[in-house]
Amino acid sequence: MRDDIEHELKRALRPVAPNEDLVQGVLAQLAAKRSRGRTFLAAFAGWSSVALAASLLLAIGIEHRLQVDRETAAGLQARREVIQALKVTHQKLDLAYQAVKEQQDPLAPGA
């Protein structure tokens, strides 16, 4: 009885050549899945390169804006320093003018 079961299993599990319709159907499904996979990968590669380029442009734009802000701040600081220097210069010149006016020659007309 055991030999009969083994014999039946061997006969049931022996290799059998598939029919042509089955082979063609399996190959068609594999080709469809492969083309869908390639399409997805191509789309992903395309979108990822677009996203990378957009990120790069955004980073460049932000860096440019930060540089402009730094230059503007430096320019405003320089302007404040020049105005302060002009005020100090005006005060010193005013003091010098007063000193000269007070020490004018007493023999000069109008003195």
Cα–Cα distance for residue pair 58/65, rounded to 1 Å: 11
Query: At 55, is the pLDDT very low, low, confident or very high (cuts 50, 70, 90)?
Result: very high
Residue 111: pLDDT above 60?
no
Question: Locate tokens 């080709």: which residue?
Answer: 31
Give tens-digit pLDDT for 69-107.
Answer: 999 999 999 999 999 999 999 999 999 999 898 887 655
pLDDT, mean of residues 33-48:
74
